[in-house]
Amino acid sequence: MAENATTHEAHWDTSTAPLVISLGILFLCLAFIVFFVYHSGLAAIISLGIGTPLIIGGIVIWVNETIDVESEGLSVPSMGWFILAEAMIFMSLFANYWLQRLLTPDWPPAGTPAEMPVAIPLIMTVLLVSSSFTIHAGEARLENDDRAGFVKWLAITMLLGAAFLGMSLFEWGHLVGQGFNVSTNVYSTSFYSITGFHASHVLVGLCIFLTMLLPAMKNKVNSGLVKAGALYWHFVDIIWFFVVSQVYFW
């Protein structure tokens, strides 16, 4: 056991995934900066073209290190640091929104729909909160060595998360149809930036769950990955309370 622990620690210390993901996030931030500040669409597309593959590739590398049940690449402590970094990015988005909200004389600004949707974000909240309970139920089944129960609750969690994303897309389509797009006003820019960034985290969470589900269906489960993935999902759930309370109801 001691030999295995040493091997795992060395493996994590040499992982390139956090660096790759961080660089990808940097390029995504640059894409927003060059588009909204310097109004350069070409530079934004180039930055997105670099950042998106880096993030996806980094996630693939990171999760691939954990698919083997003997690996501990995506551990709870490392996920904690990753969540802290993501929380700082969310805070910068919220700080920008709060600044605009407090300094703009007329709110909501001209061009905003007469009434933002109320029912849809509330339903989305119910879906996401429910998914936190279902993934917790899956963890409990796994601790009791009930692999079938774990697969069932994990699949339910993924369905709830997919339904959340589907409702996000439906809502965006409805708002765009009303003329409320990313460049309508300062509110719309913040709205799509914050909700879109959160939706991307939901998508990443579903990808992590998929890497749990496929091996689990073959009776092969990495408990470290499950705990780290569940922790990430709870973080996504908590952030949503900030999103829905600030951009919809304030």
pLDDT in tens, 151-183: 999 999 999 999 999 999 999 888 988 888 888
In a shared domain, residues 146 and 213: yes
Residue 76 has pLDDT above 80, yes or no: no
CA distance 56 to 206: 13
| 240 class by beta-carbon count within 10 Å (0-12 exposed, 13-18 middle, 19+ buried) | buried
User: Are 221 and 244 members of one domain?
Assistant: yes
CA distance 185 to 183: 6
> In this structure, are 119 and 30 located in the same domain?
no
**Whether residue 146 is found in the same domain as residue 178:** yes
Evaluated on CA atoms 81, 86, 90, 95, the torsion sign reads: positive
Asked if residue 241 and residue 182 are part of one domain, the reply reads yes
Residues 183 and 237 both lie in one domain? yes
Which comes out higher in pLDDT, residue 101 or 18? Answer: 101
- Does one domain contain both 186 and 200? yes
153 and 53 in a common domain = no
Mean pLDDT of 109-133: 89
Rg for the chain, CA atoms, rounded: 20
Q: Would you tell me how many other CB atoms lie within 10 Å of the CB of residue 18?
A: 16
* Residue 188 sits in the same domain as residue 129: yes
Q: Which of 34, 56, 73 is the last residue of a domain?
A: 73
The answer to whether 57 touches 30, Cβ cutoff 8 Å, is no
Measured CA to CA, the distance from residue 78 to residue 184 in angstroms comes to: 39
CA distance 87 to 82: 9
| pTM of this structure | 0.77
Supply the mean pLDDT for the chain. Answer: 84
Domain tally, the chain? 2
Whether residue 61 is predicted with pLDDT greater than 90 in this model: the reply is: no
| Residues 64, 81 within the same domain | no
Distances in Å between the Cα of 144 and the Cα atoms of 139, 216, 218 are 9, 15, 18
pLDDT at 9 over 80: no
Using a pLDDT cut of 70, give the percent of the chain over it.
89
Cα–Cα distance, 153 to 155 (Å, whole number) = 5
Where is the domain boundary, 45, 73, 101? 73
Give the model confidence (pLDDT) of 189-242 as tens digits.
899 999 999 998 998 899 889 888 888 888 888 788 889 899 999 999 999 999
Query: Do 103 and 208 share a domain, yes or no?
Result: yes
Is pLDDT above 90 for 184? Answer: no
Please identify, among 73, 102, 122, the residue that sits at the C-terminal boundary of a domain.
73
Does 230 lie in the same domain as 185? yes
We report the CATH number of the domain holding residue 85 as 1.20.120.80
User: Which domain, by its residues, includes 51?
Assistant: 1-73
Is 7 or 186 the better-scoring residue by pLDDT? 186
